Structure 1
Amino acid sequence: MTRIFGPFVAIVTPFDASEDISEPALRRQVERQAKAGNGVFCAGTNGEFYALSFQEKLRVAEICVEAAAGRVPVLAHIGEISTHETIALGKLIEKLGVKAMSAITPSFIACSQSELIDHYRRVADALSKPVYLYNIPARTGNTIQPDTARILADHPNIIGIKDSAGSQESLDAFLAIARERKDFDVLVGADSLVLHGLQNGAAGCISGLGNISPVTLNAIHKSFVAGEAALAAKHQDHYSSLRKQLYAHGFPPALVKRALRLAMPEVGASRAPVLISDEVNEKVREISQRFAEAID
């Protein structure tokens, strides 16, 4: 099974004034990431999957695959609350040409570790494309424990985990599994830990801040691979500074999209009920002016 490496951006889903998907704007965002050398992760947390309908998620994946045109890989998020719906979405999305899929843990339901094991095994059994686990307990209320990930790593169609728990302790526990199991990869979901992950065996990352600073994200990876440790650290420091300043003001996906919108208005606003106050908007504007990177 082909392994997937490098930087991916959890791409925003642009909306027009009626809150409908803006397909031209989405295609331009994919083009922007492709020119920066980053892969695309679509309909994830920063893509507002929680606000998209079943059919919209399919359309977003279809557009991203078409726009990428084989130049960079496209990963798709398929996680739903129920196992049944996750499988149903995955079966349709895998036909569109994505390289792999990632499924967030079920939310609302407080799952035991045995329930998570059963959930992911059933999803992976049902799909032909490879599956990544997706750990983001702050948003779902469910945590994939390292021992659970170690058990699921035995499944031939589960190839790794996207860890967005946000702590080095969590990331290091999954990286330890990756060192034990050469067929199980870790994709870093915490923007402040991209370089730490690479230094300790991560295959790559899936970053939300890459919507704002795609060149810097790619430069962290490129410098690390080239053995330019000081330069990689410099890029990571810049990236971490963006994270610290931006995420201090509220819901990260909404802040990422607003910062990008201030630089590229066509991406639109987050879908309601998400709102950005005038005070926060001005703070984000200043951050966007300093960190947003244009790619022609």
Structure 2
Amino acid sequence: MSKQAFVALVTCFNDDETINYEATRAQVRRQVDAGNNIMCAGTNGDFSALTFEEKVRLTEEVTDEVAGRVKVIVNAGMPATFETLKLAREFDRIGVDGIAVVTPFFIACTQDGLIRHFSTVADAVETPVYLYDIPARTQNHIEPETARTLSRHGNIAGIKDSGGAKETLEAYLAVAKDVEGFEVYSGPDHLVLWALQNGAAGCISGLGNAMPNVLAGILNAFNTGDIAEAERQQAIYSAFRTDLYALGFAPAMVKRSLYLQDASVGASRQPALLPNKDQDAQIAGILRRYDLL
């Protein structure tokens, strides 16, 4: 079965910080043209800065633009199970391919609390649910044994691992090996190829917003058995990541590097990164080095 790349799509904003749905649709088309699937309302989509109503409309606009050409996963995760459920039911109604649920943030959870949270959401919807682990941002971590317990739920289809630790990714991959139908998607951009070679179903990448064709290139080469080409593309992707992320908060850097390529995407909602001339000059230098500007 061929492996899949999803891009954690940016949400585009107007100057007054309202969502620019037309520009967001243009970004969807760009990713579809490159051959990438879409994850919307994720970390790179400023999900924590969006209202409930905006997430619902954003998902409607994205799925309408995709029109079945690629897969769409949307993140419903919020601090409380109550709102996560409400969002998940809306996404279920709209009709997406998967509902990702990031671990609760701000509320400290036990592993038992996480099992209850994810199971409650998975029980309530028809759409397959994907666990989403990003402990650096949420301060809650899905232990591999918890993932194993949840993998037995009939409607939990897999996990997105954005922890960045190879050991955790290996532990999740061990669960996928043992449990048929449980898929692991890697989040860290420097581990795309490694994850594919070690049994991941694919990746969900933020960096793909700025470099869609290289991401698609890693997957295409891997899927056709051209490992040398996959390694070449991964080396470009990893080097770009290292250069760009050295400058600041990764999602803000991705958004800014995309903005310098196409100003229609707008800035991030405050209090995220404010435009900074010196930083923009550094980002532009990196983009030129990778023939992106």
Residue-pair matches, total:
292
1:224-268 CA deviation, whole Å, 9 max, x = no partner? 111111110110010001111111111111110000000000000
User: Distance between the aligned counterparts of 1:50 and 1:292, measured in 2?
Assistant: 32
Deviation at 1:4, TM superposition (A): 9.4
The one of 262, 265, 282 aligned to 1:264: 262
Deviation at 1:275, TM superposition (A): 2.2
Q: Does 1:205 align with 2:195?
A: no
Identify the residue that residue 283 of structure 2 maps to in structure 1: 284
User: Distance between the aligned counterparts of 1:109 and 1:284, measured in 2?
Assistant: 35
Identify the residue that residue 40 of structure 1 maps to in structure 2: 38
The one of 130, 133, 137 aligned to 1:132: 130
User: Distance between the aligned counterparts of 1:60 and 1:19, measured in 2?
Assistant: 14
Distance 1:55 1:246, change over 3 A: same
User: Distance between the aligned counterparts of 2:119 and 2:236, measured in 1?
Assistant: 39
**What's the Cα RMSD here?**
1.4
Identify the residue that residue 123 of structure 1 maps to in structure 2: 121
- 8 Å Cα contact 1:76/1:102 also seen in 2: yes
Aligned to 2:168, what secondary structure does the other structure show? helix
- 8 Å Cα contact 1:216/1:239 also seen in 2: yes
The one of 92, 98, 101 aligned to 1:100: 98
User: Distance between the aligned counterparts of 2:242 and 2:15, measured in 1?
Assistant: 30
Identify the residue that residue 217 of structure 1 maps to in structure 2: 215
Identify the residue that residue 166 of structure 2 maps to in structure 1: 168
Identify the residue that residue 159 of structure 1 maps to in structure 2: 157
User: Distance between the aligned counterparts of 2:155 and 2:250, measured in 1?
Assistant: 31
Aligned to 1:9, what secondary structure does the other structure show? strand
Distance 1:285 1:255, change over 3 A: same
- TM-score normalised by length of structure 2: 0.97
User: Distance between the aligned counterparts of 2:17 and 2:175, measured in 1?
Assistant: 42
Query: In the TM superposition, what are the counterparts of 1:227-246 in structure 2 within 5 Å?
Result: 227-246=225-244
- 8 Å Cα contact 1:100/1:130 also seen in 2: yes
Aligned to 2:23, what secondary structure does the other structure show? helix
Distance 1:4 1:271, change over 3 A: farther
- 8 Å Cα contact 2:2/2:223 also seen in 1: no
User: Distance between the aligned counterparts of 2:291 and 2:145, measured in 1?
Assistant: 39
Unaligned stretches of 5+ in structure 1? none
Identify the residue that residue 10 of structure 2 maps to in structure 1: 12
User: Distance between the aligned counterparts of 2:222 and 2:292, measured in 1?
Assistant: 21
Deviation at 1:270, TM superposition (A): 0.5
Unaligned stretches of 5+ in structure 2? none
Identify the residue that residue 190 of structure 1 maps to in structure 2: 188
Distance 1:232 1:143, change over 3 A: same
- 8 Å Cα contact 1:90/1:101 also seen in 2: yes
Identify the residue that residue 72 of structure 1 maps to in structure 2: 70
Deviation at 1:168, TM superposition (A): 1.1
Distance 1:124 1:30, change over 3 A: same
Identity value in percent: 49
Moved more, 137-146 or 273-282: 273-282
User: Distance between the aligned counterparts of 1:292 and 1:83, measured in 2?
Assistant: 44
Aligned to 2:246, what secondary structure does the other structure show? helix
Q: Does 1:247 align with 2:245?
A: yes
Aligned to 1:46, what secondary structure does the other structure show? helix
User: Distance between the aligned counterparts of 1:77 and 1:10, measured in 2?
Assistant: 10
User: Distance between the aligned counterparts of 1:236 and 1:102, measured in 2?
Assistant: 25
- TM-score normalised by length of structure 1: 0.96
